[in-house]
Structure 1
């Protein structure tokens, strides 16, 4: 269709130029048509416009009718050979069957004449077959106009080859690169793919992700996975990693409070392992508990308070009393206060707490522990069972 219109534009320009030269000094002429009582008086320019319009209309009508009848014929046509399909139909079948790995030779042939996509598709076929060096070589020969597509494939290859430094370099570059105009139509899909690659990178290499210069690449689910991976691999972190983690939290500290509760819990668990951020840990925990009570968050806060060199038991007790007024009848508060009373030698008050919640596992543990205080070996075994059994205390750090 575009080619037909372009051809008519060219022909029109040529005819206009020719008539302009021939009409120079003689005017536009005069044409009189008389047919069956119909009379038409015009000039050469209007007549030319009339014939060109009729010609274009008939040409377009013929093209549309041809396409329509061809499409209707293909609906009832019986296909006996894959080769009889149109190339785009063949590609659609391969896509629907996810058969790119088996049909890589055919796909190469389809795109062999494409100056734009030949190198990119060649690299994709090599990547599917895990031939990464050949894929990178093909990308180096790809068209400059397909730069973004080539870069995305490079990142995928570097992730597959476990080269996080290279992957991060190219991710950072694409993150600040202005998209080529011809890709604006698929800008949303491009951005989704880029975000997905950031997610893959963050979950595969959580500590390397901390080196990225900009944040906000991850959606909520991926961010949870990333934070979970940080916790899982925390023992493998070096001093540089921990410093980067502290810096990342400092940069995002104000945004953390607007994140989902699950993400805040994960950050709280990370902060509990960073002694230098004890104040931030306490602030986050208090803020979370002021919004809603969560036993795991409370344990993290309480544990952090007791691990201080000189715990401020009066301050701890005051804070627990405030929460107890807001969230009444929770055995965990009595459990915590028992430890405070014992640590401050208020044994009679501690004994009174043991009469509360006779069916609750935490208070039952304290009652048994109180009766075994003169038997250190049994007490040690009790603590070992209690602290290692998640059925008793749901602290998952």
Structure 2
């Protein structure tokens, strides 16, 4: 439609210029039309304009009727071959079925005449075949106007090659690059794709992600994956990696309370492995337990209280008492208080707690342990059984 309108405008301008040249010094001419009872008197300018307008209207009507008839014909036509489909229908089927790997030749053929996307599509097909070097060569020949699309494809190739340094370099550059105007209509999809690439990078290279110069690249799901990967690969961290991780948490500590609960729990598990951030660990744990009681979070908090160099039993007892008033009938709080009483020499108070919760496994453990006092070999065997429990707390008293 746009091309037809432009063509008519071009023809109209051409006719105007030609007629103006021929009419110079002779006037606009005179036209007299007589048909039955109708009489029209005008000049050639009006006649030419009416003829062009009539031609345009007739052509639009013809195109409308043609498209309608073609569409109706397609509805009743029986399709026996993929090749019978219109190219845009073939592309739609490939997209809906995610059939790119099966229809690579067709896709290559469709985009072979595209000066803008030919190189990028070729690189994508090479990437599907795991021919990464050929894909990078194809991207080097891509149209500069499609720079952002080529960069995203290049990042995906580097991720597939496990080249984290190159992937980070291009992600950082693309993150600061101003989007080309012709991509503004798909800006949201472009940004989502970039966020997805950051998520893949963070999951694949969790420690290298800490080298990024800016934060906020990841959505909530990707953040959870990244933090879980950090925990899995914690033993692989260097001293510099741990320093970056500490700094990353300190930078976001002011906003940590407004983060989703699961994200905060994962950060708490990381802080438990960073002795230098013991105070931040305690603050975050108490904040989480203030929102809702989570037994795993409580274990992490209580473990830190007992394993620190100079345990503050008085403060720990006060905090446990506060949670008992807020979350009544939780055996784990009595379990923790028993250890505080024993550590502070309040044997009678500790023994009084043993009468609570007769069916709870933690309190049953304490009752058995209290009966085995002085029999260290049996206590060690009991501890061995208890330590195999998934909820074991490293208690050293």
Shorter chain as normaliser: what TM range?
over 0.9
Aligned positions of 1:272-283 closer than 5 A: 272-283=272-283
Residue matched to 2:124: 124
SS at structure 1 position matched to 2:258: coil
Contact 2:299 2:393 (C-alpha < 8 Å) held by counterparts: no
CA distance in 1, matches of 2:71, 2:134: 41
Structure 2: gaps of 5 or more residues:
none
Residue matched to 2:268: 268
Contact 2:271 2:280 (C-alpha < 8 Å) held by counterparts: yes
CA distance in 1, matches of 2:79, 2:362: 72
Residue matched to 1:12: 12
Contact 1:372 1:379 (C-alpha < 8 Å) held by counterparts: yes
> Following TM superposition, by how much is the alpha carbon of 1:108 offset from its aligned partner in structure 2, in angstroms?
1.8
CA distance in 2, matches of 1:362, 1:82: 66
SS at structure 2 position matched to 1:215: coil
Task: String of CA shifts for 1:139-194, please: whole Å, max 9, x gaps.
Answer: 11111112111111111111111111111111111111112222222222222211
SS at structure 2 position matched to 1:40: strand
For the pair 1:346 / 2:346, whether they are aligned, the reply is: yes
Say if 1:261 and 1:394 are closer, same or farther in 2 by CA, change over 3 A. farther
Contact 2:104 2:125 (C-alpha < 8 Å) held by counterparts: yes
Aligned CA-pair RMSD: 1.9
Aligned residue-pair number: 394
Structure 1: gaps of 5 or more residues:
none
For the pair 1:315 / 2:311, whether they are aligned, the reply is: no
Of 336-345 and 104-113, the range deviating more from structure 2: 104-113
Aligned positions of 1:76-225 closer than 5 A: 76-225=76-225
CA distance in 2, matches of 1:315, 1:58: 89
Task: String of CA shifts for 1:35-82, please: whole Å, max 9, x gaps.
Answer: 333343433333332222111111111112122222222333334444
Contact 2:303 2:393 (C-alpha < 8 Å) held by counterparts: no
Contact 2:203 2:222 (C-alpha < 8 Å) held by counterparts: yes
Aligned positions of 1:276-295 closer than 5 A: 276-295=276-295
> Following TM superposition, by how much is the alpha carbon of 1:133 offset from its aligned partner in structure 2, in angstroms?
0.8
> Following TM superposition, by how much is the alpha carbon of 1:22 offset from its aligned partner in structure 2, in angstroms?
3.9
Contact 1:296 1:394 (C-alpha < 8 Å) held by counterparts: no
Residue matched to 1:303: 303
Task: String of CA shifts for 1:346-396, please: whole Å, max 9, x gaps.
Answer: 111111111111111111111111111211111111112212212x6599x
> Following TM superposition, by how much is the alpha carbon of 1:217 offset from its aligned partner in structure 2, in angstroms?
1.7
Normalising by structure 2, we get a TM-score of 0.93
SS at structure 1 position matched to 2:211: coil
CA distance in 1, matches of 2:79, 2:298: 68
